[in-house]
Amino acid sequence: MTTTFQNKKIIVAGGSSGIGLAAATQFANQQAQVTVTGRNADKLNEAKQAGLQTAAIDSTNREALDTFFKNQGPIDHLVISLSGSKGIGNFAELSLQVLREGFEEKFFTNLNTIQAALPYINAGGSITLVTAISATAQMPGTSGLGAINGSLEIMVPVLAKEFAGIRINAVSPGVVDTSWWDFLPEQNKQETFKQYATNIPVGRVGKPDEVANVILFLAGNEYMTGKVVGCDGGMA
């Protein structure tokens, strides 16, 4: 079976759970050579049991990233699905130290990963970032998250011109049922989802596979670069 990604070498950073894992699985189903990275040993083991190649990488560690990509050699597509929850909360009470940690957790790990991978991405290859609706949705309590994700999104069209020959795009998910929400007790999480659903035109929160569909579209469409594509059920 010939597909867009057959025999393509793909790295999914943060691919051991949620949206990243969904994308990695879809790539693998199209006969791609997929390696997922992450820090959580249990989640990486689950991904390995599902048939994916895995690597334990801390994306805050530039030296480890450089070594990893050097050992991987040429790659075709890079997906960065590194999440973080630090920085959430009303601005008046927001700890700026925690917000700095939030930037380190997501913004700078994305930049670290891009810089480490860039020398090894084949011409015609792609980078796809996973940002978040907080960059644009103007929801109270998300100014910190919006600053982090908005900073990534504003770089995308600039990097598309700098990287000409290697495409870069981002998908901006809305509220998606992933482990990102596990800081809430299950009942509270489901109540939160119901509340969000009342303001989402499709009437529900999203699923990881639905965002993964957009990731595969962005990686596979050779005429898409410099774009941020929302996948939020019409919320933004």
Enter the pTM of the model.
0.94
**Is 47 inside a domain boundary?**
yes
**Is 176 inside a domain boundary?**
yes
Which sign does the torsion angle of CA 115, 217, 75, 13 carry? positive
**Is 196 inside a domain boundary?**
no
Write the CB contacts of 116 (distance below 8 Å, at least 6 apart in sequence): 62, 65, 66, 68, 69
- Considering its fold, how many domains does the chain have in total? 1
Q: For 3-48, what is each residue's pLDDT tens digit?
A: 589 999 999 999 999 999 999 999 999 999 999 999 988 889 888 9
Q: For 47-65, what is each residue's pLDDT tens digit?
A: 898 889 999 999 999 999 9
Residue 65 is predicted with a pLDDT of: 98
Distance CA 82, CA 12 (A): 9
% of residues, the chain, pLDDT over 90: 76
**CA angle (209 as vertex; 115, 11 as ends), nearest 5:** 25
Distance CA 200, CA 123 (A): 39
**Is 53 inside a domain boundary?**
yes
**Is 201 inside a domain boundary?**
no
**Is 82 inside a domain boundary?**
yes
Other Cβ atoms closer than 10 A to 188: 11
DSSP string, 165-206: TSEEEEEEE-SB-SGGGGGS-HHHHHHHHHHHHTTSTTSS-B
Question: Which ranges of the chain have pLDDT less than 50?
Answer: 1-2
Residue 137 is predicted with a pLDDT of: 87
Domain span at residue 107 reads: 9-180+209-230
Residue 93, domain CATH: 3.40.50.720
**Is 52 inside a domain boundary?**
yes
**Is 50 inside a domain boundary?**
yes
Residue 125 is predicted with a pLDDT of: 97
Strand partners, 80: 13, 129
Distance CA 231, CA 9 (A): 25
